[in-house]
Structures are given as structure tokens and as C-alpha cells.
Amino acid sequence: MALSDTDVADVVDSLSLDEKCSLVYGAVDPEGTATGYVPGVPRLDIPELRLADGPLGIRIPGRSSTAFPASIAVAATFDPELARRQGVAMAREAKASGQHAVLGPGLNLVRVPNCGRNFEYYSEDPVVTADFAAAVVEGIQSEDVLATPKHYVANNQETKRLVVSAEVGERALRELYLPGFEAAVEAGAGSVMTAYNRVNGTHMSDHRRLVTEVLKDEWGFDGYVVSDWFGTASAVGAATAGLDLEMPGISLEALHEAFGIDPDAEMLEEGDDESIPAGETTTPKFATELKSAVESGAVPADRLDDMVARILGQMARIGLLDGEWGDGGALDTPEHRDLAETLAARGTVLLKNDDGALPLSDDDDVALVGPGVAEAMLGGGGSSEVTPAREVSALEGIRTRTDGSVAFEPGVERVVTPSFFDDESADADADAAADFPGGKTPDVDAAADCAREADVAVVVVRDATTEGADRETLRLPGGQDELVAAVADAADRTVVVVQSGGPVALPWRDSVDAIVESWYPGQADGDALASVLYGDADPAGRLPVTFAPEGSYPTNAEERFPGVDDEARYDEGVFVGYRHFDAAGSDGEPTYPFGHGLSYATFEYGETEARGDDAVAVEVTNASDRDGREVVQAYVRPPTVAGVERPTRELAGYAAVELVADETETVELSLSEHAFRRYDDSEGWTVDAGEYVVEVGRSSRDVRAETTVSR
Ligand code: BGC
């Protein structure tokens, strides 16, 4: 029986001031497993609380766990049920390692294509973000583990992330940046992590309006708000703004020592080094200043009680206070392995497939080219790095699957993902210098020769992104573009597999036959890739972000990104992602639009009709001779209202349907109210009366049928 609120209040009453304070900031975990650790109060049998990093799996120093695909790949499945199952699996793995909270999901919107952490986030669209947020949070919390959606809010870039102020209007906050967090709260998240950055001049740790007024009062969030690591700007300011728990609560040096973080990793000093006044952000605040602030009345005593009650309340909720927590932990189970592979395969997006270049035939002789094909692409650098329980490289996956021959050439030097962690970066250096399989050396000509002799060349290219830094360019690093061009020149048929954390430039795209975007697929990389390349799985992924020429994104102005004088101006307002490209018309044609993704099957759409005001139905036929999976999408076009600028269309709903050859099914899509309403600075949420066109189709630019609904 979980303790009630009254029981928790009684526990709070029986704590001394020192004991209360000791519960609201972190300490070094004596076990060395937790990313964040609260010691508990032995006198009253209050146990320890352990928080472990996500969101791509559970990160425990020195231990392995299931390395799931990056969040952006998960969103590309357009299948929130899989995200819910991932949440369950991550929670079980957390439990197996004695961790009570997962530091995830990452819910920042993909505003800037260059952001180094896009791989940890879901989408440029708030409805997709909110759906996946709710699903994964529900999954995590269903196992009595606390989810920690992060980073609240407007943490959309890594450059100067500790100081930059997102200068963002209320409408964009409400329509784009907040819905994911609100959905996570509604789904029962036990905690929320504040962002490093400032919003309209105030650090998020100290942002009373967003933390107390919006998150707690307006949305009714009754869990605890935890700071990002070293992201507490002040003791009094943060406590009175509503921050409940400071992490890590120890000095940077102590943290580096405890967790083997590479002191040279630019975790905190990213961007311009002068942006961080030494000692100011990296020293604990609550540990040193909170007690005296409560004694002086600068922080009201009942605020401290509330902080403690919120933390204990969540510990009680998961059964930790009455010793009932801990059943059901499991690590690296067959179910988790399968899920990691299903997610990776289903999130794989077929961007282009000319003349049926894919799927490969079982007996095709393959030239497998690329510097990373002998290692699974696990993720980007930073706090989300997971040591995988097992890993399958593209080379292994394809060799296992094919009946033909597989010749391998790296083409260029390895592209190494930067790591935060000492041992792993040492490993990475060793990896970078290690021999390629078969003693191969990087040689573009050898790769082209190899491609010339095979039935098909499969070139696997990757970017290298990390927390703490943004990408300077959307071009792939390390001469890989030249490698693709050389192979495409030589080969009869060229398939390019892109493993990236977000949109990248594809300058060679007209000269290759097929392009597959597989993001950071995680430990199941090679198996998932082989299943899609050979057609065992239909490529069911769709783009949760727009791919466009680098200069055409709305953040392509210094004052918007990375900002000037520590301010990033969100002047594009709600015109982010496809909302921008639709409004830009022919000035901003996407390379591949939001929602795009091909299937090996061919789908035909019938008429669509409204089912009441909140749903539409459409008949979809698989008009091919192969089974396939279609992601049917619905976008809403609002009526024109004088003086109001609105996106041309907004995603309102989607549903995936598996159809065998020749099968027809009526697919019903429910329409999110989010796509109908707009936020008016003086009126708040507003739904304009009128006719809304609902477009149903395969992507934001491939409309197959239309109907209208009214409001
Ligand atoms: C990241 C968080 C992470 C925390 C703890 C910070 O650098 O921004 O996402 O949870 O570290 O590792």
C-alpha cells in the first residue's frame, strides 16, 4: 500500500531542518551506479533515491543495458505504442540496476537542424512530440519508475546552453514548445527536469512563471522539479521559483571523479568559454545556501516542506517508502532485444527508391562501403550514451542475411562520435585507430572498384553529434559525401544508408538509386538494417523532421541561432519545421518533407469523410503484390481569419495500418484539438469558428484526399 499524502506530510513533519535540506540536493552515490543520488534519512527509514540517465536506454557506469534507437528514430515509427513498450522496458532495466527514476524522455522540439541533441528528441511537431511523450512516460511509470521529461523548456540548441536566453513569445511556447511537457505531466510523469538555458531572460531553474505558475499550478503537476546537472542558477531564486531538487549537488570535480567523466569533455564550457563565469554554475547551491535561506526567511519554511513532500510523495507513489519497490526488474531480455530491433527497423525511413533499387535480392553480390559498417551506430555523445548489451554491425547483419557475397571497403577514415566518458573516449580513440576488418585501409578508389564489381553498392554514412555542441554544418563529416559520389559513379546500383541524429545534407542524392535514413539505430543496427534492405520488414518509418537545404531553415540567421549577445531570438514564432516550409512556398522547398517515407508496397487512397468533428475515415488499399505498412496522416488547414497568421497546415492525427497485398481497410484517424486551436496572447487558447479542411495523405506534401469539419 503506497503511503498517502497525509502519511507523507507526517514524515515531513518529523524531519529536522538539516534532514529536510539533505533531501533536496544530490550527493555522491556510494554505489557508483546512479547519475543522480539522494541519500535518504536512515533515522526515519527513508531510503535512497537513484536517478539514471536516459533516454536511449539506461546508462549505468561500467554496466550494459539495452541500447535502444535514438528518440528521433522512435518518433519516425509514428507508432506511440512501441514507445510505450520502450518505456516499460527501460523502466524494468532501471529497476534491475536499482534505479528509481529515468532521466528522460527528451522533449525539446527540433527547432534548429544543427542542434547536437536532436537525436534525443522526437520531432519538429508538437503533436508527435506530445504523443510520444505521453506514451513513453506511461510505459515508464507503469513499472513504478519515475519518468523525468527534460529539458523544460526551450532548450533547442547546445551552443552556450548554460546562458543563452530563448527570446520566445507566449504563442510559440504554448503552441510548440510546451505541449510535449504538458502531455508528459498528464500521462503521470513523477518529475520534470528544468533546462540549462534562460527563457526571456530568466534561467529555467529560477523561472517562477513557467515552473510554478504553468507547470505546477496550471497543469496540476504534483511531482518534483529537478534541475539539470549544474543548472541551478541560484538557491533562493530557484527554491522560490519552484525547483524542488538540485542535481548533482556536488562539485564538478567531485562529479568527474565519481563518474569518470572526461574533464576535457566540453560538457559545461561548450560554445564560447567566456559564457560561463567560473564557479558560478558549477558549484552546488542548495547544499551551501538553502538552510540559511530558510532560517532567514528568504525561502519560506513551507516551501522547503513542499519540496521535500514532492520528492517523498513520488517515492511513496512507487512504493519506495514502504519497502514495496523493486519487483519486475529485468535486463537485456529477449523481449527487450526484439523491441530494440523492431523500433530500429520500423523507424527506418526509405527516402528514395528509384526503379525498385530496393529491396535487395537474396543473392545479390553486395559491396558494403563505409567507415562505420563494422560497428553498430548506437547514438550521439553525452549523457545518453549507453553501453550496449550486445551489438550487431551493418556488416554482420548483412552477412548473416544474404545468400550472395559481401565485399567490404571502409572508403574513408572512421567517423568517431565524441564521448563524455573517459573510458569510452579512450575506447573511441582506440577504435578510431583500430584496423578495419580484413586489414582494409581507407581508400576511395578501392571502394569505387569494389562497388564496380558488385551487383549493388550499399554505402553506409554517418554523422557524429553530441550533447554540448551543435553541428557546424549539415554536411556529413570525413569526406563521406565524396565517397558516396565516387561509389555512385562506379556502381550499377547505389543504395545509401544514412545514420544521422537529424536532418543532414544529401548533395549526391540525384546520383544514387536509393536512400535509407536509419538515424542512430542502437544495438540492433545491422539486423534491423538487413531486414529493411532485404524487404523482410517494410520500411515503415516516416520523417518526424523536415529535410531541407541548410540555408532554408527558419533559424538560418545568427540572431535566431546561435544568437547574439547570449540571446537567441525565436522570431520565426510558430513557423518551425514544416510550418515554415509551407509558409515559405517556393522559396523554401524541402528536400524531403515532414511525414515523408516510401514503402515497398503501393498504397491507394479512396475518398475521405468526416466522422463527427473529431475524426476522419479513409479507405486505403495496398495496390501492390507485397505486404506493407502505411502511415496515414491527417493535416488540418485552418480558415482564414483577418489579422491572424497561421501555419498552412498542422498535423492533427496519424495511424499506421498493415495491409497484405490487395487488401483494403478503412482507417479512422482521430484529430487532435491542438491542430485546431491557436494561442492568442490576450485571449489565450482560441478556436476560430469556421470550416477546417482536413487533408489526408502520405506526408505533409502528398495529400490524397480532403474533407472538411467545422468548429
Ligand atoms: C544533461 C541531462 C542529463 C544530465 C545528467 C546533463 O548534461 O543535459 O540531459 O540528464 O546531464 O547526466
**Which of 90, 229, 267 is the best mutation target for the ligand 1 pocket, counting ligand atoms within 8 Å of the beta carbon and taking the most?**
229
Give a yes or no: residue 101 inside a domain.
yes
Does the beta carbon of 383 sit less than 6 angstroms from any atom of ligand 1? yes
Q: How far is the CA of 476 from the centre of ligand 1 (A)?
A: 26
In 10 A of CB 413, how many CB atoms?
16
Each residue's pLDDT tens digit, 302-330: 999 999 999 999 999 999 999 999 999 99
- CATH number of the domain at 366, please: 3.40.50.1700
For ligand 1, whether the C-beta of 229 sits within 6 Å is yes
Instruction: Confirm whether 596 is domain-assigned.
Output: no
* Ligand 1 center–CA 383 separation, angstroms: 5
CATH number at residue 312: 3.20.20.300
Ligand 1, atom 9: nearest CA belongs to which residue? 383
Q: How confident is the model at residue 434 (pLDDT cuts 50, 70, 90)?
A: confident
Q: What CATH number should be reported for the domain holding residue 627?
A: 2.60.40.10
Q: Is 213 in the same domain as 100?
A: yes
**Amino acid letter for position 650:** E
158 lines ligand 1 (CB under 6 A): no
In this prediction, residue 263 carries a pLDDT of 62
Is 38 in contact with 26 (CB distance < 8 Å)? yes
| Average pLDDT score over residue span 208-221 | 98
Across residues 26-43, what is the average pLDDT?
96
- The pLDDT of 222-251, averaged and rounded, is 96
Ligand 1 atom at shortest distance from the alpha carbon of 151: 9
**Dist. CA 81–CA 68, nearest whole Å:** 15
- Does ligand 1 come within 6 angstroms of the Cβ of 270? no
Whether residues 303 and 427 share a domain: the answer is no
Examine the domain organization and report whether 214 and 357 are in the same domain.
no
Q: What is the DSSP letter of 647?
A: -
Is the same domain home to 512 and 425?
Answer: yes
Kindly state if the Cβ of 148 falls inside 6 Å of ligand 1.
no
Q: Which three cell numbers stand for residue 278?
A: 567560473
Q: What is the pLDDT of residues 511-523, one digit of tens each?
A: 999 999 999 999 9
DSSP per-residue string spanning 465-494: -BTTB--S-SSPSTTHHHHHHHHHHH-SSE
Residue nearest to atom 8 of ligand 1 (CA): 228
**pLDDT, tens only, 492-545:** 999 999 999 999 999 999 999 999 999 999 999 999 999 999 999 999 999 999
pLDDT at 1: 53
Asked if pLDDT for residue 2 goes beyond 80, the answer is no
**pLDDT of res. 658:** 97
Find out whether the beta carbon of 227 lies less than 6 Å from any atom of ligand 1. no
Residues 693 and 605 in one domain: yes
Q: Which of the listed residues 499, 534, 569 is the one where a domain comes to its end?
A: 534
How many angstroms separate the alpha carbon of residue 120 from the centre of ligand 1?
11
Instruction: Enter the C-alpha cell of residue 96.
Output: 534491475
Q: Is 103 in the pocket of ligand 1 (CB under 6 A)?
A: yes
Do residue 359 and residue 246 come from a single domain? no
Residue 3, pLDDT score: 75
Any ligand 1 atom below 6 A from CB of 167: no
Mean pLDDT over residues 585-598, rounded?
Answer: 92
Structural domain range at position 363 = 334-534
Separation of alpha carbons 711 and 701, rounded Å: 24
- Domain total in the chain: 3
Question: Are 73 and 177 contained in the same domain?
Answer: yes
Mean pLDDT of the 578-591 span: 91
Mean pLDDT calculated for residue range 8-33: 97
**Beta-strand runs (E) in 347-455:** 349-353, 366-369, 406-409
313 lies in the same domain as 353: no
What is the model's pLDDT at position 706?
Answer: 98
Domain termination residue (choose one: 534, 562, 580)? 534
pTM: 0.96
Give me the amino acid identity at 612.
Answer: G
Q: Is the pLDDT of residue 376 over 80?
A: yes
Q: Determine the pLDDT at residue 274.
A: 41
Instruction: Specify the range with the lowest mean pLDDT, choosing from 153-162, 257-266, 397-406, 646-655.
Output: 257-266
Residue 227 grid coordinates: 534541475
Asked whether residue 364 is assigned to any structural domain, the reply reads: yes
Q: In the prediction, which pLDDT does 704 show?
A: 98
The owner of cell 491572424 is: 644
Protein residue with least CA distance to atom 4, ligand 1: 229
Contacts of 45 (CB under 8 A, 6+ apart): none
Which ligand 1 atom is nearest residue 120's CA? 9
Band (281; pLDDT cuts 50, 70, 90)? low
Q: Whose CA is nearest to atom 6 of ligand 1?
A: 229
Please identify, by atom number, the ligand 1 atom nearest to the C-alpha of residue 155: 8
Calculate mean pLDDT across residues 347-364.
Answer: 98
Evaluate: CB of 161 within 6 angstroms of ligand 1. no
Q: What is the pLDDT of residue 270?
A: 39
Q: Which residues pair with 65 in a beta bridge?
A: 388
Distance from Cα 228 to the centre of ligand 1, integer Å = 6
> What's the 89 CA to ligand 1 centre distance in angstroms?
21
Q: What's the 229 CA to ligand 1 centre distance in angstroms?
A: 6
Q: CA–CA separation, 709 vs 693, rounded Å? A: 7
List active site positions: 228
Give a three-class secondary structure readout of 23-60.
Answer: CCECCCCCCCCCCEEECCEHHHCECCEEEEECCCCCEC
Q: Point out the least confidently predicted range of 90-104, 248-262, 447-461, 555-569.
A: 248-262
Mutate to test the pocket of ligand 1, among 155, 467, 470 (most ligand atoms within 8 A of CB): 467
Inter-axis angle of helices 334-346 and 525-533, to 10 degrees? 50
pLDDT at 253 over 90: no
Q: Nearest C-alpha to atom 11 of ligand 1 is from which residue?
A: 229
Would 77 be classed as within a structural domain?
Answer: yes
Q: Which residue has the cell 499550478?
A: 217
Q: Of 121, 153, 155, 228, which is best to mutate to test ligand 1, by the most ligand atoms within 8 angstroms of its C-beta?
A: 228
pLDDT, averaged across the chain: 94
Do 287 and 342 lie in one domain? The reply is no
Taking only the tens place, the pLDDT of each residue in 65-108 is 999 999 999 999 999 999 999 999 999 999 999 999 999 999 99
Phi–psi pair at 208, nearest 5 degrees: -55, -40
Q: Is the CB of 212 under 6 A from ligand 1?
A: no
Residues 234 and 350 both lie in one domain: no
Question: Best of 51, 59, 71, 103 to mutate for ligand 1, by most ligand atoms within 8 A of CB?
Answer: 103
The fraction of the chain above a pLDDT of 90, given in percent, is 91
Residue 571 lies inside a defined structural domain of this protein: no
In this structure, which amino acid lies at residue 219? W
The number of the ligand 1 atom at minimal distance from the alpha carbon of 383 is 12
In the predicted structure, residue 272 carries a pLDDT above the cut 90: no
How much of the chain, in percent, has pLDDT values that exceed 70?
Answer: 95
For residue 640, being part of any structural domain is answered with yes
Please list, in sequence order, all residues whose beta carbon lies within 8 angstroms of the beta carbon of residue 510, skipping any fewer than 6 positions away. Answer: none
Query: 103: CA distance to ligand 1 center in Å?
Result: 8
| Nearest atom of ligand 1 to the alpha carbon of 54 | 10
Nine-digit cell string for 194: 528544468
Domain boundary among 518, 534, 550: 534
The Cα–Cα gap between 569 and 442 comes to: 43
Domain assignment present for residue 626? The answer is yes
* 651 in the same domain as 505: no
The answer to whether the beta carbons of residues 160 and 562 sit under 8 Å apart is yes
Q: Does 302 lie in the same domain as 380? A: no
Q: Could you tell me if residue 366 is inside a domain?
A: yes
